[in-house]
Amino acid sequence: MPFAVKDNIAVKGLPLSCGSKMLDTLSSPYSATAVEKLQQAGAVVVGKTNLDEFGMGSSCDNSALGTTNNPWDVARVAGGSSGGSAAVVAAGMVPFALGSDTGGSIRQPAAFCGTYGLKPSYGVVSRFGLVAYASSLETIGIISLDTQLLRIVFDTMRGQDPKDQSSRPFSPKASEKRQGEKPRIGVIADIEGLAPAMESAYRERLDLIRKKGYEIVEIELPMLEYVVPAYYTIASAEASANLARYAGIRYGHRTDWADEHGELTEKSRDEGFGDEVKLRILLGTYVLRSGFKDQYYLRAQKIRTLLRNEILSAFQKVDQILSPVFPTTAFPHGDAGLDQFQQKLADKFTATANLAAIPALAFPAGQSEGLPFGLQLLGPEFSEHKLIDTASAFTELWEPKTAPGFREWR
Amino acid sequence: MYDTFIGLEIHIQLLTKTKVFCGCSNNYGDEPNTNVCPVCLGYPGTLPILNTDALFMAYQVVGALKCKRAEAAIFERKNYFYPDMPKNYQISQFADPVGINGEVIFPFQGEEHRVRIHDVHLEEDAGKMIHAGDMSLLDYNRAGTPLLEIVTEPDLRSGEETEAFLRYFRTLVRTIGVSRGNMEEGNLRCDANISINTHGAGLGTKVELKNINSSRFVRLALEYEKERQIGIVEAGGSVDQETRLWNENKDITVVMRRKEESKDYRYFPEPDLPPYRPGEDFFRRVVESLPELPLDRQKRMEAAFSLTDEQASYLCEEKARADYFETAVAAGTEAQHLYFWMSGDLAALVNKSGTPLEESRLSPEKLATVLRLLDNGEIHGPIAKKMVALLFEEEHDPEGLIAERGWKALDDTSKILPVVKRAVDANPSAAEQLKQGETKVLGFFMGQVMKETGGRADPETAKALITSYVKGEIV
DSSP per-residue letters across A164-216:
BTT-----PPPPSSPTTPPPPEEEETT-----HHHHHHHHHHHHHHHHTT--E
Identify the closest residue of chain A to B85 by CA–CA distance: A245
How far apart are the C-alpha atoms of B196 and A316, rounded to whole Å? 63
**In A, which residues are within 8 Å of B267 by CB distance?**
288
Of the partner residues B43, B136, B273, the one whose CB lies closest to the CB of residue A29: B43
Q: Do A32 and B48 touch (CB under 8 A)?
A: no
Strand partners, B265: none
A166: distance to nearest CA of chain B, Å?
Answer: 6
How far apart are the C-alpha atoms of B326 and B333, rounded to whole Å? 10
Q: What does pLDDT average to in each consecutive run of 10 residues of chain B (475 residues)?
A: 96 98 91 96 98 98 98 98 97 97 96 97 96 90 97 97 96 96 92 95 94 91 96 95 93 87 90 97 98 96 95 95 96 94 95 92 94 87 88 90 80 82 87 83 86 81 86 80
Q: Do B266 and A293 touch (CB under 8 A)?
A: yes
Of the partner residues B49, B77, B83, the one whose CB lies closest to the CB of residue A163: B49
pLDDT in tens, A21-45: 999 999 999 999 999 999 999 999 9
A179: distance to nearest CA of chain B, Å?
Answer: 36
Strand partners, B5: B195
**In B, which residues are within 8 Å of A297 by CB distance?**
268
Q: Give chain A's mean pLDDT.
A: 95
Which segments of chain A have a pLDDT < 50? Answer: none
Q: A208: domain range?
A: 2-397
CATH number at residue A376: 3.90.1300.10
Cβ–Cβ contact A302 with B under 8 A: no
**In B, which residues are within 8 Å of A29 by CB distance?**
38, 43
Of the partner residues B44, B267, B268, the one whose CB lies closest to the CB of residue A18: B44
Q: Does some domain include residue A364?
A: yes
**In B, which residues are within 8 Å of A251 by CB distance?**
43
Q: Do A136 and B271 touch (CB under 8 A)?
A: yes
**In A, which residues are within 8 Å of B274 by CB distance?**
165-166
A130: distance to nearest CA of chain B, Å?
Answer: 5
Catalytically active residues of A are 6, 81, 105
Q: Tell me which H or E stretch contains B355.
A: none
Identify the closest residue of chain A to B42 by CA–CA distance: A245
Q: Do B264 and A262 touch (CB under 8 A)?
A: no
- Cβ atoms B409, B378 nearer than 8 A: yes
Domain boundaries, chain B: 2-283, 292-405, 413-470
Checking DSSP bridges between strand B268-269 and strand B252-258, what pairing results, if any?
unpaired
pLDDT at res. A175: 67
Q: Do B79 and A136 touch (CB under 8 A)?
A: no
- Cβ atoms B184, B213 nearer than 8 A: yes
Residue B263's alpha-carbon distances to A289, B15, B78, B266, in angstroms, are 10, 30, 11, 9
Cβ–Cβ contact A289 with B under 8 A: yes
Q: Do B88 and A26 touch (CB under 8 A)?
A: no
Mutate which of A261, A267, A292 to test chain B, going by most B C-beta atoms within 10 A?
A261
**In A, which residues are within 8 Å of B264 by CB distance?**
289-290
**In B, which residues are within 8 Å of A165 by CB distance?**
47-50, 272-274, 276
Of the partner residues A32, A136, A289, the one whose CB lies closest to the CB of residue B45: A32
pLDDT at res. A176: 65
pLDDT at res. B453: 82
Identify the closest residue of chain A to B78 by CA–CA distance: A241
> Number of H helices and number of E strands within chain B?
16, 14
Of the partner residues A26, A247, A285, the one whose CB lies closest to the CB of residue B266: A285
A196, with CB counted inside 10 A (0-12, 13-18, 19+), is: exposed
pLDDT at res. B460: 81
Q: Coil, strand or helix: which one is B172?
A: helix
Of the partner residues B79, B129, B273, the one whose CB lies closest to the CB of residue A244: B79
A226: distance to nearest CA of chain B, Å?
Answer: 21
Q: Does some domain include residue A276?
A: yes
Q: Does some domain include residue A76?
A: yes
- Cβ atoms A376, A349 nearer than 8 A: yes
pLDDT at res. B382: 81
Q: Do B272 and A166 touch (CB under 8 A)?
A: yes
Q: Do A166 and B274 touch (CB under 8 A)?
A: yes
Assigned architecture for domain B413-470: Orthogonal Bundle (1.10)
pLDDT in tens, A245-298: 999 999 999 999 999 999 999 999 999 999 999 999 999 999 999 999 999 999
pLDDT in tens, A364-397: 999 999 999 999 999 999 999 999 999 999 999 9
B50: distance to nearest CA of chain A, Å?
Answer: 8
Number of domains comprising chain A: 1
Q: Coil, strand or helix: which one is B326?
A: helix
pLDDT at res. A211: 96
A241: distance to nearest CA of chain B, Å?
Answer: 7
pLDDT at res. A340: 85
CA atoms within 13 A on the CB side of A75: 5
Checking DSSP bridges between strand A2-6 and strand A44-49, what pairing results, if any?
parallel
DSSP per-residue letters across A314-374:
HHHH-SEEEEES-SSSPPBSGGGS--HHHHHHTTHHHHHHHHHT--EEEEEEEEETTEEEE
How far apart are the C-alpha atoms of A108 and A111, rounded to whole Å? 5
Identify the closest residue of chain B to A284 by CA–CA distance: B266
Cβ–Cβ contact A30 with B under 8 A: yes
Interface of B with A (CB under 8 A): 38, 41-50, 77, 79, 81, 83, 86-89, 129, 136, 138, 264, 266-268, 271-274, 276
Strand partners, B276: B73
How far apart are the C-alpha atoms of A131 and A128, rounded to whole Å? 8
Cβ–Cβ contact A265 with B under 8 A: yes
Chain A from 53 to 92: CB within 8 A of any B CB:
none
How far apart are the C-alpha atoms of A322 and A377, rounded to whole Å? 5
Nearest CA among A117, A114, A135, A118 for reference residue A126: A135
**In A, which residues are within 8 Å of B49 by CB distance?**
162-163, 165
**In A, which residues are within 8 Å of B143 by CB distance?**
none
Q: Does some domain include residue A410?
A: no
Of the partner residues A29, A165, A245, the one whose CB lies closest to the CB of residue B273: A165
Q: Does some domain include residue A320?
A: yes
